[in-house]
Amino acid sequence: MAKQELSAREAVTEAKCYLNNAKEILREKGAKTEGYYRDSKYVKMAGDTAYSGVLFVLDHYFGEKAKGRKDVDWYRINLSKEDRKMLDSFTAVYEQLHL
């Protein structure tokens, strides 16, 4: 996306692109056998891509324009001020996709 201001809808659409890219990585390169992905490199890559989409939309939500990733605690602190359910969801996403 260009360096212009994104609407909330455009930010969500962009985040969904990250998620679709993660699915594509797994589908094309994950080498699924017997219900499990064999190549951990691509599983990690897909998880990082999906997590990046979550961070992208959160940055937009909080109005952050700085480049690069902020510490996970920054997201936790800001989410705890906004919405406990979103914080719980973020914690689950962090544990499942990033860690």
Q: What is the pLDDT of residues 11-60, one digit of tens each?
A: 999 999 999 999 999 999 888 888 888 888 999 999 999 999 999 999 99
Supply φ then ψ for residue 88, to 5 degrees. Answer: -60, -40
With beta carbons less than 8 A apart as the criterion, state whether 20 and 12 touch.
no
Q: Looking at the domain assignment, is residue 45 inside a domain?
A: yes
pLDDT for the residue numbered 33: 85
33: containing domain: 8-98
Q: For residue 18, what is the domain's CATH number? A: 1.20.120.330
Number of domains, the chain = 1
Bridge partners for 32 per DSSP: 37
Q: What is the pLDDT of residues 67-92, one digit of tens each?
A: 778 899 999 999 999 999 999 999 99
From 72, 65, 74, 78, select the one nearest 93 (Cα to Cα): 72
